[in-house]
Every structure is written in structure tokens, then in C-alpha cells.
């Protein structure tokens, strides 16, 4: 019995040590971020925006996400979420642009999610899904500046892009490499 308990303690100690060694390498998670389970060049993909409420006293009540202007998407749609509404802002282009064989004269430039309810409380996070595409065949890195609005009226712009090799800025823009 003693050997089993000792072996179990050693295994737990090793697991804890490994977890502590890995923690410094993890990216900051307290910012608006984007990921995708299925984005590939030449295809549509789902963007998952994670939005933590960093305020101790106010809830997140709105999120506006800017879409890439230099590589517009032909299709943009938001997943319906109970208690939230979404609106897609469209921009008429000065010159048509070709995207995946289609000539576009108007593109989605941003998408805004708002709630009339309680929003995302302090210490919680929300997840917003947007289906876009197609991504350019060659892929690339896509930046999605976002503005998070709190119930007390404060707005935080997650729009800073770090220079290559520089430290992460205070308010990094969500970005995705495809």
C-alpha cells in the first residue's frame, strides 16, 4: 500500500512540475482572441472570437469586429446567439475586387454583436462565431481589430499589432494565421 501511495505522489509531483514548466509558454488569454477549427486557404471557415470581461464592475454588452479590407470575404454570417443580435456593416468599394472568381462591388467591413440583456459578467467570457470565406488560396495572417464595450460605457479597442520580434502590445488585435 505504501509503494502505491508513494508512486502516486511521485506521479502527481511530476505532473505538477510539467504543468509549471509549460505555463510561462502559454499565450495571454485575457484578451479578445480569435481561432478557427477549420480555416484553410481557398475555403470557408468558422472564426471563434473569445471575449473575456476584464472589468471588475461592468459587463461586456457589445463587440465590434473589423474584417480585413485588403482581403475581403465573399460571404460573412454570424451564428445566432440567444440574447444577442448581430449586424453586418457593408461597404461599397470604389473599384470592384475579385474574390474566388466573383467580382464584388460591396463587402462586409465589420460585424457588431449587441445585447439588451445582462451581457458577459465580470470573470466570465463569451464566444462569438462568424462564418467567413473563402480565405485566399495562399492563406496568410488575418487581423481582426475589435472594440469591446462595457455596460458602464467604457470601450476597449483591441487593435494594436506588434512589430515582428516585439513584445505583445497592451491591447493586441485578434489575428489568425491560415
Q: Print the SS3 string covering the chain.
A: CHHHHHHHHHHHHHHHHHHHHHHHHCCCCCCCEEECCCCCCCCCEEEEEEEECCCCCCCEEEEEEECCCCCCCCEEEECCCCCEEEEEEEEEEEEEEEECCEEEEEEEEEEEEEECCCCECCCCEEEEEEEEECCCCCCCEEECCEEEEECCCCEEEECECCCCCCCCCCCECCEEEC
Show pLDDT as tens, one digit a residue, over the chain (178 residues).
Answer: 445 454 444 444 434 333 333 333 333 457 999 999 999 999 999 999 999 999 999 999 999 999 999 899 999 999 999 999 999 999 999 999 999 889 999 999 999 999 999 999 999 999 999 999 999 999 999 999 999 999 999 999 999 998 888 998 999 999 999 9
pTM: 0.82
Amino acid at each position: 500500500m505504501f509503494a502505491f501511495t508513494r508512486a502516486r505522489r511521485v506521479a502527481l509531483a511530476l505532473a505538477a512540475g510539467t504543468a509549471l514548466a509549460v505555463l510561462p509558454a502559454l499565450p495571454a488569454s485575457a484578451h479578445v482572441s480569435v481561432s478557427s477549427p477549420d480555416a484553410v486557404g481557398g475555403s470557408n471557415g468558422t472564426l471563434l472570437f473569445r471575449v473575456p470581461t476584464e472589468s471588475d464592475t461592468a459587463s461586456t454588452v457589445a463587440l465590434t469586429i473589423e474584417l480585413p479590407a485588403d482581403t475581403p470575404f465573399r460571404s460573412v454570417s454570424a451564428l445566432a446567439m440567444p440574447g444577442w443580435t448581430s449586424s453586418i456593416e457593408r461597404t461599397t468599394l470604389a473599384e470592384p475586387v475579385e474574390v474566388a472568381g466573383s467580382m464584388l462591388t460591396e463587402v462586409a467591413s465589420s460585424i457588431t454583436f449587441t445585447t439588451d440583456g445582462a451581457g458577459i459578467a465580470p470573470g466570465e467570457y463569451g464566444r462569438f462565431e462568424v462564418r467567413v470565406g473563402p480565405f485566399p488560396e495562399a492563406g496568410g495572417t488575418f487581423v481582426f481589430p475589435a472594440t469591446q464595450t462595457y455596460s458602464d460605457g467604457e470601450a476597449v479597442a483591441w487593435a494594436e499589432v506588434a512589430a515582428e520580434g516585439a513584445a505583445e502590445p497592451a491591447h493586441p488585435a485578434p489575428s489568425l494565421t491560415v
